[in-house]
């Protein structure tokens, strides 16, 4: 199976059905980020969820010289919370509310929103689980 190590490394994939894993893994795209590189920035389009397979990342406050306020360790995912963001009027602007950067050289796998939506109809319970920690 493609990306077997990823499935073992990313906590989200543990205890998921082989059918779901076989469906979603081909959509995951590998990306490398060097230490200090921004992964996404505030106001970037909300198009992707990130699975950190090695290294370390963080949410940072750019207005305070990239002060770290939340660390993301290997095996976790991030970037999903903005998929759920809705303003007071019930609208979403489709833009990132946060900035993240690599604290170490890191390897990530990206799941694009359009591919995630393909899984939603067939694996609604799994997709719901993906967002359960974001609320």
CB atoms within 10 A of CB 11: 12
* 2 pLDDT higher than 60: no
CA distance 21 to 13: 7
Using a 10 angstrom Cβ sphere, with 0-12 exposed, 13-18 middle and 19 or more buried, the burial of residue 21 is middle
Cβ atoms 20, 126 nearer than 8 A: yes
Report pLDDT digits (tens) over 10-19. 888 888 888 8
pTM for this structure?
0.86
Pick the CATH number of 4-131 from 1.20.210.10, 3.30.420.40, 1.20.1540.10, 2.60.120.10: 2.60.120.10
Report pLDDT digits (tens) over 67-121. 999 999 999 999 988 776 666 666 677 889 999 999 999 999 999 988 887 877 7
CA distance 130 to 81: 10
Q: How confident is the model over 54-67, as a mean pLDDT?
A: 97
């Amino acid at each position: 199976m493609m990306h077997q190590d990823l499935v073992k490394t990313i906590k989200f994939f543990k205890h998921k059905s082989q059918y779901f894993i076989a469906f979603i893994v081909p959509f995951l795209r590998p990306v490398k980020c060097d230490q200090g590189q921004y992964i996404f920035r505030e106001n970037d389009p909300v198009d992707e969820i990130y699975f950190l397979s090695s290294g370390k990342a963080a949410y940072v406050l750019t207005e305070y010289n990239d002060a770290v306020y939340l660390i993301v360790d290997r095996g976790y995912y991030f970037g999903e919370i903005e998929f759920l963001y809705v303003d007071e009027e019930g609208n979403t602007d489709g833009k990132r509310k946060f900035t993240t950067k690599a604290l170490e050289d890191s390897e990530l796998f990206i799941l694009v929103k359009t591919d995630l939506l393909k899984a939603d109809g067939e694996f609604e319970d799994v997709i719901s689980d993906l967002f359960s920690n974001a609320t």
